[in-house]
Structure 1
Amino acid sequence: MMIRWLCSVLRVRGKADLLLVFLFGASFAALPVFALLPSLWGFAAASAVSYLTDEMLHSRAPGFIRRLASLQMTRTMRFAARTAMLLALAERMNAPELLLVAALAVFTVHFAIMMLYSAVHRIIRARRTLPVIVRNLDMSGAGIPKQPPALLYRRFLRKLLHLDLPGHAALVAALAIGTWTVAYAGFALTIGLSVLALAALLWQLRRVRRMPTPDDVIAALNGQLADYRPQVALYFSFAAVSRDFMYQVNMWIETLERLDLRPLIVLRERPSFRFLSRTWIPVVCVPKADDVAKLDLSEVRVVLYPGNAGKNVHMLRIAEAKHVFIGHGDSDKLASSNRVSKVYDEIWVAGRAGRDRYQRVRHAISDKAIVEVGRPQLAPIRLHADHVPGPEPVVLYAPTWEGWSDDDCHTSLIPMGVTLVERLLAENVRVIYKPHPLTGKRSREAAEADAAIRELLRTDNERHGGAAAEAAIAAAQLRLKEIQTRLDELAGRLDGDDAQQTRDARVPDRDGAAEWQALNDEWHRVFWESRSGVRHHIIRKRLPSLYECFNQADMLISDVSSVVADFVASLKPYVLTNAHDLPDEDFRAAYTTAGGAYLLDRDCTRLPEILRSVREPRHDPMAPHRRTLKEYVLGPDRPTSMERFNAAALALAERAARELAEDAGEGLPRLTIPSQRTDSDNIAESAEVSALHQTDRTDPAEQTDPADLAGLVDPAG
């Protein structure tokens, strides 16, 4: 337990990294001791260990390095301290005064050159910062020069600092043998290499003078957009963007690729561009609002918004297009029926439940503005009938995060998460634990509960022989890494800075989708097979995906979130946490997805009875309610979600074009459908689905009545 606690405090992954931290700390602490004794060989050994462990920790434990930096022990400070200790050792060993002065001058000049190099590097980076970043459009004509060589440009501080090694090693050798010319030779090498590196970077500075102006880059992009003529755009912005948020965009990519309109993705934050999944769709990242206004989006008729963000107003200003809030999941949370949604022309929801949810926001959203389009992303989820449970139930615990404030905090982690996992372990089930990516980012209590749950699962794995499976996991890592590398290549994650990636942007080959899917399937197969001997799984990364975890599980336990609505598609048993112990009737009245759920109290006393629905499939009284709820929440199976989504996009684009023509006093224009998707059967099918789409909007009473879901009692209660 003490080791786990130390790993958590020091932000390292395991015992091996913890040993490196102790070696690093001990070697650094020994430097002043050996310098003052003085002990040359003790100092040399401690210095070598400190160099090596410092480098290893940078790659193995970046969290620990960041913790050091927060305590003002940056890499530069550590190198400076090591140099000061070396000079103290030389003085204590009665080195000649001239040698000491030369050593001090050399190391001072080395640090001065490093500062100048950093300044030049900053200038180059600033000059290479483009107003846009582009993928999947041919930007070869923009005139963007190549990035400086990686040797000079990437991780430059790390390389420059290590140029003190010749001087350090030579001074130690000179103190050992008493021949000072060795020290001077090492000093000359340190200064010579530093000056050479600076000169090479200054030469690269000349090349950035040929960088095109921001207006030239945008003009080149607009030329490509004019040739491509996008008709529908997905627009995404998030101020604190990271890989944790990009699922909101990535979940819609395949749907966009299958539309009968030419799609475009517009991002607003540079980091989000790096976490985008594979797509052939043109992608443009435009950080500044003024540059968004310069984009040629004259033929875009529909703009889709997966999230509500302040920067959405920069796209909402486009009057020629219709603006649609599509969200990133169908949740019962209050945020999923926000009054802010009134600014959009339409709100697309999965099923009748979404319509009813918005109607509860009185005097805000018009019923005519709500369109039911299903959830096209749910196709990979296997149905309950196609799932074969193993001898021990597999329970997926996927709690939501703590939200932006305590008012919208729905997570079960804080009030009951640890108790729940303890009870699951006592019930002899296998657990897949997949918390929300943002878990613990705001609440310390949530972070502590998350850490406690992971510790419980690790300990239980060890008790059930999980250590024996480490060999199989290690053997699979190489193949998983190979697959991941190829997936990154297909996703367009190229080497180089943003300007280099824009320079290398080309129109992609659309045939990569088949290889992408095959590799994705193989990754998941290798992952689960290699971990067949592991009892519990803690999923913290993007892969394995949430839907693959759905397919592995016999039951879901979660909080009020879009995860539950998506899991409903599987028709498997699922559980909603009732952490505040509301009466069942009140809970089901408040949250639509509770209509087909087993409700779990805060103390988890109902858990044994709930698990009977998995252990004894015939004892599953909520099964018929889940079937009714599925259509209510996600819409009918026919027409398919993709057909309904496509029809909604076409209908809205036609409406936008018609209104634009009416405003201009022209005749009714015909919306141009991309040639690869214009066969007569497809158009006829879209027209038919469009008619159904209009019927859904004007006569919702023919769909599943929410009253059918009312009055359900929890059989497990």
Structure 2
Amino acid sequence: MNAKSGLRGWLAGRMPALAAEVAALAALLLAAVADSPWWALPPALVALGLLGYLWRNALSGGPTPSGSTLVIRLLLLACAYLLGVVHSGADLVLALGVGVAALAILAEPAVTATSRSVYPVSANLRGSGLRPNLRPNTSRAVLVNGAAVVVALVCAFAGTLEVISLVVSVAALALIAFTGWQAVTRVRARHASETRLNAALAAYEPVFLLHWEAPAGTAYQVGMWLPYLERLGKKFFVLVRSEANFNEVLRMTTAPVVLRSGLTQIDDVIVPSLRAAFYVNTATKNNHLVRYTNLTHIQLNHGDSDKVPSHNPVFRMYDKNFVAGQAAVDRFAANGVSMPAEMFSIVGRPQVENVAIAAAPIASLTAPRVLYAPTWAGFYADSNYSSLLVGYDIVKALVSRGCSIVFRPHPYTMRSAALTQESERIKALLAEDRRTSGRKHVFGAEAETKMSVVDCFNASDAMVSDVSSVVADYLYSEKPFAMVAVSTPAERFTDAFPLARAAYVIDAQSGRVTNLDPVLDDLLGSDPLAATRHDLKKYYLGDIPSEGYAQHFIDEANRYL
């Protein structure tokens, strides 16, 4: 980014604050030369608007941006004092009130910076102390400081009640001082916990750890593996790299959870009893741990699919890659990523152990239920496989055939405004059809949070998806499914994504579906690919007996522990 674009970006982000500062300064100058106290009205309105903004931000759960409003509030305080001097004469009490309020506001940056140093160190780990108390509430202090500005303006406008302004300002300064004291105390507690961390972990004697770093809202990555790692019967802990990840994991396990954000902090958690480290994604910060050669580093990944990320060369840095079936091994070679066979272990997908197998041909069902499970847009253009932009037409066609729908979009759908809009359109369509026809469509919170992916599989008779790991998992059920060809023309789709050999391919390369009717005829009717699905199931999910399917993973993992 060049200097000009950087300056434009800074100005764009600062424009609301700059406009408010200019307005406050103009009001201050006008108040200084005018005879009427009504010039106090503009800065009073600015102050009230500012306080409302801070209050709304605090209620939304976000941090109150004290730094971006600090100059505005100081100018408004100066305006209040000048109004008092011009229209009522110099007043020591008002001056003290304005000065104390200014001190409280000027203390905000230091208190906020100290508060940001308060973060959890560990939880569920005896000997290192429990998770520190929550971060001090700086938003509350900023709101009270804003109230002190408003009170000072009102008192200056009224020309009386200066004592009230002083009392409120003293209360604001006391609150910011108390918040600062809380922050300092909790930082010291954090340091004490960090000092004891290594000894506490050594006493706990973990055999392995699970390393996870990912954007907030992606806890499904670890959620799918924690139950099976717990079934290994060995002591372990979860190492996370951000406070958001810490809070998410803490809700999912009783195992110790440790937060180490920096590279140099990792040394604190590498204790002699550790033998292996598991990973569930290819996050860049995995490098911070892979450098410890005394551990066996095992990549589990959080799904198996023909997507580009599934044959990323970065998988070569792990000692072992646990994959679902031979298809994953062949995928690397087919895409020019050379990896020796000993780097792989075929363990199946233990998460599908409770997926129900198709009980009858779909043609025998009069009103089949179809799961629509589109993926998201991906981090990069070459991994955008989402079918949601044509999903409305697909769902509408299924509903017109008398199907009931289970709609479960990817958790990351909300990251794209366009995909979110299409998701809402589909939900509105299903809500309206449920109202008029009585069909029991499942969507929204019921499908996305109350039901697991496996629950959605078992509640359906067929599925429509795209290039996604849910397709390989659904293959275990041997139920029919369709894949939407978004990124690649339908005639070359099976070459790029071999799993599509078991799927009915919907052509959406042009941004609209073109062969939907014949595909749905096969999907919901004659189902000519039933035998193909049965054969590919072993290729993608391992030739593992269904009895004790997940045990195969547990046995293989225990070999390295």
- Which TM class, normalised by the smaller chain length? 0.7 to 0.9
For residues 39-84 of structure 1, give each alpha carbon's deviation from its aligned partner in whole angstroms, at most 9, with x where no partner exists. 8999999799858964774377679x99xx8xx9956577678878
* Distance across 1 between alignment mates of 2:76 and 2:178: 27
Judge conservation of contact 1:396–1:557 (CA < 8 Å) in 2.
Answer: yes
Residue 19 of structure 2: aligned partner: none
* Distance across 1 between alignment mates of 2:296 and 2:67: 53
Write the mapping of 1:617-656 to structure 2, written as runs, cut at 5 A. 619-635=526-542, 636-638=544-546, 640-653=548-561
* Distance across 2 between alignment mates of 1:430 and 1:46: 54
Change (3 A) 1:87 1:217: closer
Match of 1:449 among 405, 418, 424: 418
Match of 2:372 among 397, 405, 409: 397
Shift in Å, 1:357: 2.0
Residue 338 of structure 2: aligned partner: 364
1:575 alignment partner, SS class: strand
Write the mapping of 1:520-531 to structure 2, written as runs, cut at 5 A. none
Taking structure 2 as the reference length, what is the TM-score of the superposition? 0.77
Change (3 A) 1:76 1:242: same
Match of 2:254 among 271, 280, 302: 280
Shift in Å, 1:186: 1.7
For residues 157-205 of structure 1, give each alpha carbon's deviation from its aligned partner in whole angstroms, at most 9, with x where no partner exists. 2343234454455566xx3xxxx44x21221222221232244346547
Judge conservation of contact 2:276–2:296 (CA < 8 Å) in 1.
Answer: yes
* Distance across 1 between alignment mates of 2:143 and 2:149: 11
Match of 1:600 among 501, 506, 513: 506
For residues 395-431 of structure 1, give each alpha carbon's deviation from its aligned partner in whole angstroms, at most 9, with x where no partner exists. 43333233333233323345x4455455556656555
Q: Report which stretch shifted further, 108-117 or 152-161.
A: 152-161
Residue 546 of structure 1: aligned partner: 453
Write the mapping of 1:306-455 to structure 2, written as runs, cut at 5 A. 306-362=280-336, 364-385=338-359, 394-413=369-388, 416-417=390-391, 419-421=393-395, 423-424=397-398, 429-439=403-413, 441=415, 447-455=416-424
Residue 566 of structure 1: aligned partner: 473
Change (3 A) 1:452 1:121: closer
Match of 1:250 among 206, 223, 238: 223
Residue 168 of structure 2: aligned partner: 190
For residues 653-708 of structure 1, give each alpha carbon's deviation from its aligned partner in whole angstroms, at most 9, with x where no partner exists. 3xxxxxxxxxxxxxxxxxxxxxxxxxxxxxxxxxxxxxxxxxxxxxxxxxxxxxxx
Residue 147 of structure 2: aligned partner: 162
Write the mapping of 1:71-220 to structure 2, written as runs, cut at 5 A. 95-98=87-90, 106-107=97-98, 109-123=100-114, 125-126=116-117, 128=118, 133-139=121-127, 147=133, 150=136, 155-164=140-149, 166-167=151-152, 175=158, 180-181=159-160, 183-201=161-179, 203-204=181-182, 207=185, 211=189, 213=191, 217-218=193-194, 220=196
Change (3 A) 1:281 1:46: same
Judge conservation of contact 1:166–1:189 (CA < 8 Å) in 2.
Answer: no
Higher relative contact order (CA 8 A, sep 6+): 1
* Distance across 1 between alignment mates of 2:42 and 2:138: 33
Judge conservation of contact 2:213–2:240 (CA < 8 Å) in 1.
Answer: yes
Change (3 A) 1:344 1:609: same
Judge conservation of contact 1:437–1:540 (CA < 8 Å) in 2.
Answer: no
> Residue type matched to 1:377 in 2?
Q
Write the mapping of 1:443-482 to structure 2, written as runs, cut at 5 A. 447-457=416-426, 459-460=428-429, 463-464=432-433
1:604 alignment partner, SS class: coil
For residues 420-451 of structure 1, give each alpha carbon's deviation from its aligned partner in whole angstroms, at most 9, with x where no partner exists. 4555566565555443333475xxxxx35314
Q: Report which stretch shifted further, 338-347 or 381-390.
A: 381-390
Change (3 A) 1:160 1:251: farther
Residue 213 of structure 2: aligned partner: 237
Residue 199 of structure 2: aligned partner: 223
> Residue type matched to 2:419 in 1?
D
Change (3 A) 1:154 1:607: same
Residue 271 of structure 1: aligned partner: 244
Shift in Å, 1:566: 1.8
> Residue type matched to 1:221 in 2?
L
Change (3 A) 1:79 1:114: closer
* Distance across 1 between alignment mates of 2:523 and 2:314: 41
Match of 1:297 among 254, 271, 274: 271
Judge conservation of contact 2:96–2:166 (CA < 8 Å) in 1.
Answer: no
Change (3 A) 1:78 1:316: same
* Distance across 2 between alignment mates of 1:270 and 1:624: 48
Judge conservation of contact 1:401–1:409 (CA < 8 Å) in 2.
Answer: yes
Judge conservation of contact 1:430–1:536 (CA < 8 Å) in 2.
Answer: no
* Distance across 1 between alignment mates of 2:365 and 2:75: 58
Judge conservation of contact 2:55–2:143 (CA < 8 Å) in 1.
Answer: no
> Residue type matched to 2:175 in 1?
A
Unaligned runs of 5+ in 1: 1-27, 442-446, 469-530, 654-717
Taking structure 1 as the reference length, what is the TM-score of the superposition? 0.62
Aligned length: 525
Write the mapping of 1:678-717 to structure 2, written as runs, cut at 5 A. none
Q: Report which stretch shifted further, 326-335 or 302-311.
A: 302-311
* Distance across 1 between alignment mates of 2:59 and 2:430: 24
* Distance across 2 between alignment mates of 1:428 and 1:236: 43
Judge conservation of contact 2:503–2:529 (CA < 8 Å) in 1.
Answer: yes
Judge conservation of contact 1:301–1:321 (CA < 8 Å) in 2.
Answer: yes
Shift in Å, 1:232: 2.2
2:411 alignment partner, SS class: coil
